[in-house]
Amino acid sequence: MTSQYDERFRRFSRRVEKGILIGIAACAIALTAGEILIQYVPARVFLIETERLEGVSDKP
pLDDT digits (tens, 9 = 90+) for 19-36: 999 999 999 999 999 899
Residues of the chain short of pLDDT 50, as ranges, are none
**Cα(27)–Cα(44) distance, rounded to whole angstroms?**
20
Residues 6+ apart with CB under 8 A from 52: 45
Domain tally for the chain?
1
Q: Range of 55's domain?
A: 1-59
Task: Mark residue 40 as left, alpha or beta (left: phi above 0; alpha: psi -120 to 50; beta: remaining).
Answer: beta
Determine the pLDDT at residue 49. Answer: 78
Determine the pLDDT at residue 58. Answer: 62
3-class secondary-structure state, position 19: helix
Can you give the pTM of this predicted structure? Answer: 0.67
Determine the pLDDT at residue 11. Answer: 94
